[in-house]
Structure 1
Amino acid sequence: MTLVSNSWLDEVNWDANGLVPVIAQEYDTGHILMFAWMNREALLLTYETKQAVYWSRSRSKLWRKGEESGHFQLVHEVRLDCDEDVVLIKVEQVGGIACHTGRHNCFFKKLENGNWLVDQPVIKDPKDIY
């Protein structure tokens, strides 16, 4: 069995807290689903398991997307930007809900005429998810 080196993790420009911003993009439509953070362990687990794992800054712990809701993100591709300080993961959003508000994605507010307008419906009430 050949062991794969994890030296690729050293190429990421981690911030002072050991984190990197991550954008989750729907692999088949190109829609941006959400933004989150990863530490080294989260990125390694995401790569190894092919399921999105993030770092929760508010809870100071790993957060496996879908662990409570069942709305997992199956990872098809992991990319690093030109400055090596932002990760893009292309995912299949299981269940069609990426946002904890019960919407398809987290970017459901659109600035129009100086006001933030909600332009996406709630697919499932968060009380029924969590």
Structure 2
Amino acid sequence: MSFDPATLVYNEAGLIPAIAQDAETGDVLMMAWMSAEAVSRTLATGRVTYWSRSRQAFWVKGESSGHVQELVDFRVDCDRDCLLLTIRQTGPACHTNRRSCFYTAVRDGDEVELMLPMT
């Protein structure tokens, strides 16, 4: 059975959340949004392509920064309303220059930064 991006469940803006996970470590690196066209482009090229809500444009991860995401595996959740992209990440995934966007923990009611920006 071939995959059709139109079978996914998109929000009212035509977007679906996509979680990027490191293929080697299993670390969750980031979450971003994809449109049906971004899904198609990602599957066709192997380079992860998101939809930038702020720029209203396609965003090929690493195109300007060099922090490329190479697709290893593409999974759809049971409700078809969320994606899991297993990737090979070059450099930091976060725009703050950290390896992951999930660098802040809440512990005993306090925010704790778990990682520093990469140099």
TM-score (norm 1): 0.87
Partner Cα separation in structure 2 for residue 80 and residue 115 of structure 1: 34
Q: For 1:32 and 1:98, locate their aligned partners in 2 and report how far apart those are by CA, in whole Å.
A: 10
SS at match of 1:101: coil
Q: What corresponds to 2:84 in structure 1?
A: 88
**Distance (whole Å) between structure 1 residues aligned to residue 57 and residue 6 of structure 2:** 21
* Counterpart AA for 2:111: W
**Larger of the two Rg values belongs to structure:** 1
Tell me which of 70, 86, 108 is aligned to 1:113.
108
Deviations 1:77-119 (A, max 9, x none): 1000000000110000012x10010110100001011111111
1:99 aligns with 2:98: no
Q: Which runs of 5+ in 1 are unaligned?
A: 125-130
Structure 2 stretches lacking a partner, 5+ long: none
Deviating runs (4+, > 4 A) in structure 1? Answer: none
Matching residue's letter, 1:35 = M
> Aligned to 2:59, which of 59, 63, 69?
63
TM-score (norm 2): 0.95
Task: Report the alpha carbon displacement of residue 17 of structure 1 after superposing the two structures with TM.
Answer: 1.0
d(CA) in 2 for partners of 1:53, 1:10:
17
Matched AA of 1:28: E
Give, in whole Å, the separation in 2 of the partners of 1:93 and 1:70.
Answer: 10
State the partner residue of 2:47: 51
Q: How many residues are treated as equivalent by the alignment?
A: 119
RMSD over aligned Cα, in angstroms? 1.4
CA distance in 1, matches of 2:113, 2:34: 28
Q: Which amino acid aligns with 2:102?
A: F
Letter in 1 for 2:94: C
How far the C-alpha of 1:7 sits from its partner, in A, is: 5.4
